[in-house]
Amino acid sequence: MTLPLDDLRIVAVEQFGAGPFGTLQLADLGADVIKIEDPKVGGDVARYVPPFAEDGSSLFFESFNRGKRSVALDLQEPGGRERFAELVRDADAVFSNLRGDLPATLGLRYADLSSVNSKIVCVSLSGFGMTGPRARQGAYDATIQALAGWMSVTGGPEEPPTKSGLSLVDFASGYVAAIALLAAVWRARREGVGGDVDLSLFETALALLTYMGTWNASRGWTAQRMPDSSHQIVIPFQMFQAADGFLVVACAKETLWRKLCVVLDLPELSHDARFADFACRSRNRDELVEILKGTFTKRSVADWTKALNAAGIPCAPVNDIAGALDDKQTRERGVITEYDHPVLGPVRTIASPFGSEQSRKPTRAPFLDESKREDM
């Protein structure tokens, strides 16, 4: 079978995280992603991110750029611009993740490229978009998590505002960019005319506030940092300490709450008026959590997860990364895949979440300008 996107070609002026992560999803699904790298600075800075970096290759770079091609071009030099136009002529989309004012400076907008290819879709993913008072302002995942309110609700109430341990704004914005690019290409193929798509990390992060944003904008509701990674409203939906570690228990339905009372051998709680429903448990959170915490410390994580899973209650041990990669589900589904790299040696990586039926088997990322002589 052919891959879903094996008729899609993308010219990507991209670097570091969010942009390459977005085009990685499309490459995994079969798209031909031609990565444009600036030879003046040695290509994408991700090539040199430690640890595990050597001779212009790194495991960081591999994580975001496997299965792509690389062409080194100086887009501000006539020869580079001419070669870029040749690539655009046969492409479906030009994708960039640069500061908001740079697509205009580098000629990456539809107005700049429509004379070369009237169907070209020009997608810009920047910190704040191509317009507005922050358009010329640089941004990274951490600064957006701060500005968009994420850090204000992450961490415990006695802790300072905290960034997520992963670059979730970058990764979410990459997914948004991939979806937006596909939608715009679909429209261009249907209508015969391309156009611009202006996306930002900031607006992605704001959109991901979802119900918290709606509650605040509609009713002035104020979020707060919660202890034990607790849900703002639903209880119990949080981390608990067991005899030998930590686990997360999530009871987002009344039926799950009643089952939990049985598993904990506290059937009287399900009939206690203080804990009768979501609203009651929220009002009496401190009393209920104190009872639950005292109970969970009596048995091991393994004992609790076995009992809770048997009752159909969502729960999980708090793994480290090694534990997650060694989970029985990870092993059974073949999530970890491996390929050889001529510089880095064996590379074990995480396969595409789109499934093996739709995505290509991972292959190494390109060397800088490796595709310069290929027929494209």
**Does residue 375 sit within a domain?**
no
Average pLDDT, the chain: 96
**What sign does the CA torsion over 84, 87, 89, 91 have?**
negative
Is residue 271 part of the annotated active site? The answer reads: no
Same domain, 182 and 44: yes
Same domain, 125 and 71: yes
pLDDT in tens, 289-346: 999 999 999 999 999 999 999 999 999 999 999 999 999 999 999 999 999 999 999 9
**Does residue 222 sit within a domain?**
no
pLDDT in tens, 42-76: 999 999 999 999 999 999 999 999 999 999 999 99
Same domain, 54 and 169: yes
Residue 372 reports pLDDT greater than 80: no
**Does residue 216 sit within a domain?**
no
Same domain, 58 and 135: yes
What is the value of pTM for the model shown?
0.94
**Does residue 342 sit within a domain?**
yes
Same domain, 41 and 120: yes
User: How many structural domains are present in the chain?
Assistant: 2
Closest CA to 240 of 252, 231, 253, 249: 249
**Does residue 151 sit within a domain?**
yes
Same domain, 286 and 340: no
Domain that holds residue 91: 9-208+335-350
Same domain, 159 and 187: yes
Same domain, 312 and 341: no
Determine the straight-line distance between the first and last CA of the chain, rounded to whole angstroms: 23
Which of the residues 136, 231, 259, 341 is marked catalytic?
231
Same domain, 185 and 51: yes
**Does residue 252 sit within a domain?**
yes
Same domain, 139 and 285: no
Same domain, 37 and 122: yes
